Chains A and B, each alone.
Chain A
Amino acid sequence: MAESESESGAGVFDESRFLRIVELMKEHDLAEVDLRDAEQRICIKRGGMAPSMGGQMAGFMPPAYMQPPPAAPPAAAPTAAPSAPADADDSNVVLIKSPMVGTFYTKPNPKAASYVKVGDHVEPETTICIIEAMKVFNEIPAEISGKVVAILVGDEEPVEFGKPLFKIDTTG
């Protein structure tokens, strides 16, 4: 939080204005507000995010200049979030692509649990899926270490060579 430049009460750092913003955030369930006024800027984030958002709200919200926030942008932000995790860690997110043509299975058999789910950590030898080709069930290893950020193919979906299957965050 930036220091106020004046005690005059004008600008984004005015205490009463700041408290009003916090109230508005609670009232409208906003997680983040980023205000700019010429050379001044304040960014307020609210804690206790829904885990499904990937632990991070889109920093794409346009500056809200003390107007009642329109219903659309905040609602839009969460749906934009699924792609958001890429923005901060882009260079560390790697795609695991299919090495063959076949049918993709997330689990070893219909009754078992999936090999991996989003959030799991994998090692190079971890089996992440099965690709069935010509009646042979091939267990596919991750071949890298990291955290599963996304599973891009559905169970029993056909895949071609090179099709992206998983997003792995190698820092995770």
Chain B
Amino acid sequence: MFNRILIANRGEIALRIIRACRQMGIETVAVFSEGDRGNAYLDLADEAICIGPAKSAQSYLKIDQIISAAEVGNVEAIHPGYGFLAENSHFNEVCRSCKIDFIGPTPEAMDLLGDKNRARDIARKAKVPVVPGSDGLLSDEDEALKVAHDIGFPVLVKATAGGGGKGMRVAANDLVLKTAIQQAQSEAKAAFGNDGVYLEKYVERPRHVEVQVLADLHGNVVHLWERECSTQRRHQKLIEESPAPNLPQETREAMCKAAVRLIKSVDYTNAGTVEFIVDQENNFYFIEVNARIQVEHPVSEMVTGIDLIRAQISIAAGEPLPFTQSDIVQRGAAIECRINAEDPDRNFQPCPGLIKNMFTPGGMGVRFESHVYPGYVVPPHYDSMIGKLIVHQPTRSEAIACMLRALDELRIEGIKTTVPFHKKVLQHSEFVEGWVDTTFVERVILTK
């Protein structure tokens, strides 16, 4: 087991990892930018090292500063959290070449799955259904037209190097297809430096359902069942839950088995998430793999009782998984609401600033994951998420009631947050009945 780990991240996830390490008796080295100096959670680490000015590009994204801090801090491994360098295979490689373990998959596995077009090929080979689409990157417009007619309009033009919803365009017919391709290409070139695009059938009102997997270094791969993440705005998840409501059991099982098959086929290790879209007929199609721990991991932790961060660290230290697939059961229902420092009444405009006062919710089955406290100043330099509110109850309707109760108790004064938005969603009949898809928020909640 490791003696000392560096957490190459900040805020909520850094605190989460520090907590797991403390419980395991592992010493921690935290890094922070000038923008995070004085943050209370840093005191929980054994050592905290300043790595640069507030801007992420000069601190949390600076590989040399982080590696240097790892050497100065004398650590054996680095946990990258999510975002920042978590899916940067170059950083992964640099860590390992400096004899520092990277708590995540190998750089090769990361690269293989990071290219979305290649990931589709891998899925096909592993007999995992993919969204009907082009066989590789589009070489020209004629090919695009042919594929579009084969699979049927509407189609989605997607960037192979894409992420976060960028480099995607919908085309409903021949006339707009050419423009859609050009727009997607320029956006992709600007955002990712790679204008390679491919075509997929555009699934109307899709559900976003993902499967959590864990794979150790001894060939054992398990899934921790699925998470429903359809409540999104601009491709950013807002509410996640497990199990996915109104999903037939055989679909659930087939999807989870497919995820494991895919992961095994590329020798992927540590934690990962296989994303699918589910159409209105409950057909599921592979989209991509997220080769990291995700924001919404607590939802899976609550229903399975498995500490995912702890599992990540143990796997990286070479320990075999202490459970088999049959040990992993979904119990009850869990929901997570991402609490962002944003004003839902002003188009979710970010609201950095001083948190004057705060009251955090509690009670049975309530978990609040946050690094903020009264007196904390939400900085403008990073993403707006200031906490995650998670509940776990025996049934989904009890979980909704519990979440509404907990959202009512959560008081954050001094800044605006998305709490009122979450309350609105959780009381809406479509959500209550479990019929959400990725168009739900924009179609129903925001049009009012």
Contacts and interface: CB of A to CB of B under 8 A. Distances in A.
B72 interface: yes
B50 A134 contact: no
B53 to A, nearest CB: 8
B64 A161 contact: no
B67 interface: yes
B430 to A, nearest CB: 49
A163 B50 contact: yes
B69 interface: yes
Residue of A100, A133, A160, A162 with most partner-chain B CB within 10 A: A160
A146 interface: no
B259 interface: no
Interface in B297-314: none
A101 B69 contact: yes
Nearest to B94: A134
Interface string A83-113: 0000000000000000011110000000000
B68 A101 contact: yes
Contact of B51 (A103, A134, A160): A160
B243 interface: no
A133 B64 contact: yes
Given A134-B64, A134-B67, A161-B65, A102 B72 contact: yes
B272 interface: no
Interface string A132-172: 01100000000000000000000000111111000000000
B interface bracket (residues with beta carbon within 8 Å of A):
10 to 19
B385 interface: no
Interface in A60-100: 100
B50 A100 contact: no
Chain A interface main SS type: loop
Interface in B49-100: 49-53, 59, 64-65, 67-69, 71-73, 98
Given A101-B72, A103-B72, A134-B71, A160 B49 contact: yes
A163 B53 CA distance: 12
B34 interface: yes
B98 A101 contact: no
B34 A134 contact: no
B68 A102 contact: yes
Contacts of A103: 72
Contacts of B34: 161-162
A119 B403 CA distance: 65
A100 B66 CA distance: 10
A101 to B, nearest CB: 4
Contacts of A100: 64-65, 68
Interface residues of A, number: 12
A83 to B, nearest CB: 24
A33 to B, nearest CB: 44
Contacts of B59: 161
A133 B68 contact: yes
Contacts of B53: 161
A134 B98 contact: yes
Contacts of B65: 100-101, 133, 161
Nearest to A99: B52
A156 to B, nearest CB: 11
Contacts of A159: 72
Contact of A161 (B50, B67, B73, B98): B50
Nearest to A163: B50
B304 to A, nearest CB: 38
Nearest to A157: B72
B66 to A, nearest CB: 8
A162 B68 contact: no
A40 B337 CA distance: 73
Nearest to A136: B64
A139 to B, nearest CB: 16
B401 to A, nearest CB: 47
A93 to B, nearest CB: 22
A47 to B, nearest CB: 45
A103 B68 CA distance: 9
Nearest to A159: B72
7 contacts: A101-B49, A101-B65, A101-B72, A103-B72, A133-B64, A133-B67, A161-B51
Given A134-B68, A134-B71, A160-B49, 18 more contacts: A100-B65, A101-B49, A101-B65, A101-B68, A101-B72, A102-B68, A102-B72, A133-B64, A134-B67, A134-B98, A158-B72, A158-B73, A160-B50, A160-B51, A160-B69, A160-B72, A161-B50, A161-B65
Interface of B: 34, 49-53, 59, 64-65, 67-69, 71-73, 98
Question: Closest 8 CB pairs between A and B?
Answer: A133-B68, A158-B72, A160-B50, A101-B68, A161-B50, A160-B49, A101-B69, A161-B52
